[in-house]
Structure 1
Amino acid sequence: MQENVDIAIIGGSGIYDGNLLDRVREVDIDTPFGKPSDSITIGEHGDKTICFLPRHGVGHRISPSELNSRANIFALKKLGVKRIIAVSAVGSLKKELAPLDIVIPDQIYDRTRSRPSTFFEDGIVVHIGFADPFCPEMSETVTNVANSKGYNVRQGGTYVCMEGPQFSTRAESCVYKALGFDIIGMTAIPEAKLAREAEICYSMIATVTDYDVWHDEDVTIETVIANAMKNEEAVKDILMDALEKVSIEQNCMCKDALAGAITTTPDMIPHETKRRLDPLIGKYLKE
């Protein structure tokens, strides 16, 4: 079945709600990097086609360090996705960012260690710009929607992405706070990097579940899950309007991220690599 999806939502399995989409169906997709986290749900929202991918799989069975983010993003590219709204539960590194607040981050600090973070290997080198990892155009739209609904939302802020799956030590948490970071989570990297390589706009709704352990409080999974469930209703409410207001047309830097970034001489790129990555690079290698 040929699909042409406009916007993807990546998030916890609780974020999807049957009331959000009409004419819902599921598709299974193969990619050169393996299978995505789960089957992808596709449906209609107004005049747009939307898909949903549960980042950790249904039932939250995949650890942050085991996520096959390359398969996830490549699968969305194959579906024709132009924009991704990611949803992520985060800890707060600022007193003024309280549990149940919402942050639309504009920067990332990468503290991961063992995650493949590029599509480009096996005979091809690509250097994309990544100074602004989140799409500013889409992030502004999502922020405006959240503000209009009266949520306590912060536009901008730095998301420090740790490896996990363990939470921070107290020393680490205090250092991240001292460095001026705003929120901490485990999933923005490599999702954001791969989305940029795929020329897909990427923005995030980060929902605060706890103060990290700098606050002299132990972070328990019970607290995180309880607040994440409370945040789900707010996220669904924001998404209902954001999906209508986000433009399908990409008028930003994201859509041309690979222009001039492919460093390898085209005739030196192995044929198999070209074939495998055609959805990403094909338009740049046509003679």
Structure 2
Amino acid sequence: MYRLLIAFLVGFTLTTNAQELRCNVVVNTELSGNQNLPVFNTLQKQLREFVNNTKWTNRVYGPQETVECNFYINVTEYSGDAFKASLQVQSSRPVYGSTYYSPVYNFNDKDFTFRYVEFQNLIYNENQYESNLISVIAFHVYMVLGLDADTFELNGGDEFLKQAQTILNYSQQGGAKGWKIEDGNQSRFVLIDNLMSPTFKEYRSVLYDYHRNGLDLMQENVTKSKENIAKAIEEFAAMNRRRPNSFLLRTFFDAKSDEIEQIFSDGPNVEITDLVSTLNRVAPTYSSKWRNIKF
């Protein structure tokens, strides 16, 4: 909590980059057995340019609105032009009146197989399947954009999440894993299907209330901010009763557990009884962190 409060006392520094994304793309090849091949460096450079230079939306983004994210591709197998990998995607958004960036999206996509020939053109078509490499990257770009927008406006990410759903639908023709219901309960299919389902409607309202009515008020009134964050998290209780231990809840707390622990492990005091009870019901995996909540 101390580091958070320090951040809120420092003015937020603007940059001159007005693209939608400021994305760090890393291709890690240590597990492939071929880490010195130049094709990996080329892939990393091309993907970094592809993500950061593609115009993903029709919106005008100011320098302060650029979304921070990381794409970590861990290549485990490589043969010819065939790659087998996992993809860790993380994004964060700035908190008003501070230099602090709050984590929003943290997803480990374990079913990432693709074909790539060095220097091939990487072109995104919003209505047409190009390759599994393009589809997976574009899908997560729109997830990042959609969830980021949801933190600033209630259901503000609709257009981006619908585009992620469009990518899912046309990418099923490619035959790669992760796009269909039979690909497991932690797939891209389940992720976007749950996000767009009324069964999990609280997820997106929590994103908004937690950030806009909670963290963004921290520099004005820490107590009120903490109270609003606690109320937002308690909204998950209804969703959890409908669908206990859902995948969406796990993705939220994978991103937020450290931050929640930090916020509520120092003063000022707020009522935490209901909060801790809710956290232990909806995210029991992180019970060791919830035991540190005392304020």
TM-score scaled by length of structure 1? 0.29
More relative contact order, 1 or 2 (CA 8 Å, 6+ apart): 1
Find the structure with the greater CA-based Rg: 2
TM-score scaled by length of structure 2? 0.29
> Higher helix share goes to which structure?
2
> Higher strand share goes to which structure?
1
